[in-house]
Amino acid sequence: TAFNVELNHEEMLAAGSTVAIQAALLYTNTDGQRRICVHTLCKPVTSVLADLFRNVDVDATCNMIAKVALDHALRTGLHMARRYLHRAVVDAVRAYRAATTSPYGGAAAGGPGLNTRAPLPSFTHMHAAAAAQSADITHMLPENLMLLPLYAMGLQKCPLYRGGEHIRADERSSLVYRMLTMPAVDSNIFVYPRLYSLHDMDASAGMPEPGAAPLSALATQPAVVLPTVVNLTAERLTSDGIFLLDNGVEMYLWIGRACPPAALNALFGISSLDGLDLQSLHLPELANPFSERVNAIVRALREPHFQAQKLRFVREGAGDVAEMRFHWHMVEDKQAFVGGNLTYAEYLPLVNRDSQMAQMGGGTS
């Protein structure tokens, strides 16, 4: 559970000094004892605005704007919430460009100032090719915030904020309450789900990490090696493949129409899905390496969550609700609702153009 607080400090702060923020949580543990948990955070003060941008946590930022957008959605509707999400990333790009081009912005990237955050993991560099298609993309945001446009677009297309008439009111209400207290590590997966390719995963995927301990005191198994994450676009799906998608709330196992009978037999104990009601299908634990590894991956993805994600099965070309909902999560593709009809490669130039217009005093699209 995570609670978000926005602080506004109006007094002058001396550069080179530090500021401390302390939060205390009063709670009752499972034994009925009253406890106080105190968190203290100390950060240096800088007069270099560019340094501030280079030390921002993109996951925490995305978590914050997702929750602020809830207020916009409740007061003025989903369309205005999506406009806020877009404007938030546009304002960030505009402010960073001003910080690095004005005489008051401070040191350029790599110059003197505060130490920058550690490099992002390899997952964050999957979109370098698409980003390169956008004019001046390398100057839009520092490396630690390069995924902010992708996350903002993912938020606009996720089941919580997407438009259209296919999200039931009770489902959206449930997602609202989930997001209100969702930690940054969970909102990161919810905004940009993880898509794993199972049919061609490495031999180590689904196996315990060497020397790995359980993920937590409540964990029932050690951490396992997960398959490589692929981009959320239908172009990465192959008809002879099997893909697992996880957004932290639910999972989808996508099965191509040309999936080899040997793979189906290893995973389900059947050679074909023809004439089978996928709603009655379940993932059995069979005595073969492929089944054991896939089940280990599913258990590992469910382990950190108090409420296990329901696993839904999708057959390519079925044209049913499950396949439609699976493709909702292909956030880099166009979606069939107002405000979701851009691909990621098309969205980046829009953010760049709107930020330039905002810097010159114009509005956003």
Q: Residue 111's pLDDT band (boundaries 50, 70, 90)?
A: very low
What tokens does 330 get?
């292909």
Please tell me the predicted confidence (pLDDT) of residue 192.
95
Asked if residue 197 lies in contact with residue 112, where contact means CB atoms within 8 angstroms, the answer is no
Q: Does residue 24 register a pLDDT over 70?
A: yes
Min mean pLDDT across 69-78, 100-109, 156-165, 222-231 is at: 100-109
Whole-model pTM? 0.85
Which region among 152-156, 158-162, 307-311, 338-342 has the lowest average model confidence (pLDDT)? 338-342
The alpha carbons of the chain give a radius of gyration, in whole angstroms, of: 23
Reduced to 3 states (helix: H, G, I; strand: E, B; else coil), residue 237 is coil
Q: How far is residue 235's CA from residue 155's CA, in Å, rounded to a whole number?
A: 21
Q: Residue 137: pLDDT above 50?
A: yes
CB 332 within 8 A of CB 231: yes
Instruction: Classify domain 193-328 at the CATH class level.
Output: alpha beta
What value does the mean pLDDT take over residues 285-297? 95
Dihedral, CA of residue 33, residue 39, residue 40 and residue 43, to nearest 10: 180
Cα angle value 107/110/116 (rounded, 5°): 95
Say what the pLDDT of residue 109 is: 41
Instruction: Write down the domain spans for the chain.
Output: 48-187+339-359, 193-328
> Looking at this protein, which amino acid is placed at residue 72?
H
pLDDT tens digits, residue range 139-158? 788 889 999 999 999 999 99
Question: What's the whole-number mean pLDDT along residues 96-116?
Answer: 60
β-strand partners of 252? 245, 312
Check if the beta carbon of residue 33 is closer than 8 Å to that of residue 27: no
What residues have CB less than 8 Å from 157, skipping those under 6 apart?
328, 331, 335, 340
Mean pLDDT over each residue of the chain, to the nearest integer: 86
pLDDT bin (cut points 50, 70, 90) of residue 223 is confident
Sign of CA dihedral 199, 200, 201, 203: positive
pLDDT of amino acid 294: 96
End-to-end CA separation in angstroms for the chain: 35
pLDDT, tens digit, 9 for 90 and up, residues 116-134: 444 444 454 455 444 544 4
CA dist 109 and 119 (Å) reads 13
Instruction: Choose the weakest-confidence range: 15-24, 130-139, 170-179, 273-282.
Output: 130-139
Read off the pLDDT of each residue in 1-5 and give the average, rounded to a whole number: 82
Q: Regarding the domain delimited by 48-187+339-359, which CATH topology (the fold level of the hierarchy) does it fall under? A: Four Helix Bundle (Hemerythrin (Met), subunit A) (1.20.120)
Nearest C-alpha neighbor of 316 from the set 259, 263, 249 = 259
**Which helix (H) or strand (E) element contains residue 299?**
helix 289-302
